[in-house]
Structures are given as C-alpha cells and as structure tokens.
C-alpha cells in the first residue's frame, strides 16, 4: 500500500537523476515519430512488487506511453513470465526504461526474499513483521514490497506507535515508569511496545501493562519460557539475529510475531528485462 501522489514526486526525482539534461542516445538515434512495443519479462522466478510503480514511470515521463499490466502486485511468477506490455513513442520508452526496471527489480527482490521467510514459518501461527531499516527515501515502497511478500508492516515511522527501548527506559528509571508515562500521554488507540532482553524484564513489562513485548536477541529456551509466562496476556514479538535458517525454530516457540530487516538489507535485485515484442 502506498500513496500515488508521493510516488509521483519520487519518480520525478528518479527521472531527473537518470536523464540529466537530455537522453543523448534516444534523442540522437531514434526518430521522434518512431513507435515501439516491449514486454517486461521476469528472467527468474520471483514474487512481483512494484510493477505498478514501473508503469507509472513510463506514463509520468510521457503520458502517451501505454502500459498493460499482465500480473498483480504480490503474484508469484516463473521465469519468462510477462509482467507488462509497454508501448508508445520509442524515444520515451527507451529513456524511461532503466528507471522503471530499477524500481521493479529492487521491490520484487524484497518481495521475493520476504516470501522465503514467510514460507519458512507457514506451519506456525507466527506472522512476519518488517522493520524501519529501509533505504532512505524508499520506505513506503519497500514496506509495500514486504507486504507483497506476505509480511505485515511494523511501524511505518516513529509516529506509528510507541516503542520503549533500553535507553528510553533508562531515562525514565524503570520499565514500569516508562509504560506509565507513555500510557498517560499517548493517543488512546496507540499501542505500547517494550523491548526486553531478559526474562525478568518480560515479567516487569507484562505487569506494567505493555501491549506488545519484544524479545530482543533471546535464546530459543528463553523465548519459549516467555511465551509460557505471558500466556497470551500480551503479544510477543521476537527480534534480533533472525535468519532464514533460524526463523522456523523461533516461530515454533509460540511467539506471535517475528521481525527482521533481512529482506530489506540482503535481498538482491531480481532480473527483469524489457524485450522487443517483435
């Protein structure tokens, strides 16, 4: 989910960065009246994200470009699948091509990696959460990509919820004091989450009335003990050091959520090309 008005402003920046003053190759080599038709194709299996944004790149640069989407956001496709058919003035299509491909490759890479993590815990009730460790300027779209891969969005920004970390708690004096102050001052529908790295802190956060308790870098044994102690009285989120080869064991402890930044920070861009339709 993203705001199209905000995306258009991003696209203007992307195009300005890539084009500079003029696309010398397209303007010098391609006749203004020439038209073209291309297929945007997946060159490897992937979960699609950002194809709508890529379409907006073409039409933002030149409204006479036409894009017929062949897939939906979040679709899983195989190698060779057509994601879109792009047609219109050849100069415009070739000028906007790289910007359009860059964003759909990046976002589909995140969605594809996210889907791998979601698949690894599909046998449990636990849900995957994303984080705020996103590329500056691309948070809205990268979180959209994580959603396409099956994750739930955690905080979109600092104004989306209250997260009491160790330094907040240190300044306030204790977990109990920090939660009490937050509860007194927060908007009535805002949830309060407390980060804990020890079981005694989990007990204190629960007693203080935290809505969500984050189990930060805890062992599997400690997470399982926290689940038994909390017994559904608050939501539990596991975080820290989550990898594809460890996430299943974390989910099997019974936590409600698992958050990781790995799909943002380690996902490679997938291979998508624009091929001549002739």
Quote the CA–CA distance of 259 and 163 in Å, as a whole number: 14
Residues in Cβ contact with 267 at an 8 Å cutoff, skipping those fewer than 6 apart: 109, 110, 112, 113, 114
For residue 88, count CB atoms less than 10 angstroms from its CB and return exposed for 0-12, middle for 13-18, buried for 19 or more. buried
* Domain range list for the chain: 4-111+269-276, 119-266
Per-residue confidence (pLDDT) for residue 1, from 0 to 100: 74
Quote the CA–CA distance of 3 and 5 in Å, as a whole number: 6
Angle formed by the axes of helices 139-148 and 4-19, to 10°? Answer: 110
C-alpha distances out from residue 46 to 78, 235, 264, Å: 7, 32, 16
Per-residue pLDDT of the chain (278 residues; tens, 9 = 90+): 788 999 999 999 999 999 999 999 999 999 999 999 999 999 999 999 999 999 999 999 999 999 999 999 999 999 999 999 999 999 999 999 999 999 999 999 999 999 999 999 999 999 999 999 999 999 999 999 999 999 999 988 898 899 999 999 999 999 999 999 999 999 988 999 999 999 999 999 999 999 999 999 999 999 999 999 999 999 999 999 999 999 999 999 999 999 999 999 989 999 999 998 75
Per-residue confidence (pLDDT) for residue 276, from 0 to 100: 86
The architecture (CATH level 2) of 119-266 comes to Alpha-Beta Barrel (3.20)
At residue 114, the 3 state secondary structure works out as: helix
* Enzyme catalytic residues: 98, 133, 165, 195, 216
Angle formed by the axes of helices 4-19 and 51-61, to 10°? Answer: 60
Cβ contact 103:53 at 8 Å:
yes
Domain 4-111+269-276 has CATH 3.90.1170.20: yes
């Amino acid at each position: 989910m993203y705001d199209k008005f905000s995306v258009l402003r991003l696209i203007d920046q992307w195009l300005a960065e890539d084009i500079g003053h003029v696309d010398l190759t397209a303007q010098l080599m391609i006749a203004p009246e020439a038209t073209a038709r291309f297929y945007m194709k997946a060159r490897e299996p992937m979960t699609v994200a950002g194809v709508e944004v890529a379409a907006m790149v073409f039409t933002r640069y030149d409204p006479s470009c036409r894009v017929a989407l062949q897939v939906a956001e979040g679709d899983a496709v195989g190698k060779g699948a057509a994601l879109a058919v792009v047609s219109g003035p050849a100069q415009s299509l070739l000028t906007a091509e790289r910007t359009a491909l860059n964003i759909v490759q990046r976002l589909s890479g995140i969605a594809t990696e996210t889907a791998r993590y979601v698949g690894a815990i599909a046998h449990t009730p636990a849900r995957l959460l994303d984080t705020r460790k996103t590329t500056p300027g691309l948070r809205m779209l990268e979180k959209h990509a994580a959603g396409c891969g099956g994750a739930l969005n955690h905080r979109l920004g600092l104004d989306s919820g209250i997260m009491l970390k160790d330094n907040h708690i240190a300044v306030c004096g204790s977990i109990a004091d920090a939660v009490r102050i937050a509860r007194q001052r927060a908007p009535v529908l805002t949830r309060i989450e407390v980060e804990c790295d020890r079981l005694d802190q989990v007990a204190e956060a629960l007693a203080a009335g935290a809505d969500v308790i984050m189990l930060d870098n805890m062992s599997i044994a400690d997470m399982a003990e926290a689940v038994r102690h909390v017994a559904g009285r608050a939501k539990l989120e596991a975080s820290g050091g989550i990898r594809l080869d460890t996430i299943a064991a974390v989910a099997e402890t019974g936590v409600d959520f698992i958050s990781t930044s790995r799909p943002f920070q380690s996902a490679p861009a997938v291979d998508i090309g624009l091929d001549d339709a002739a």
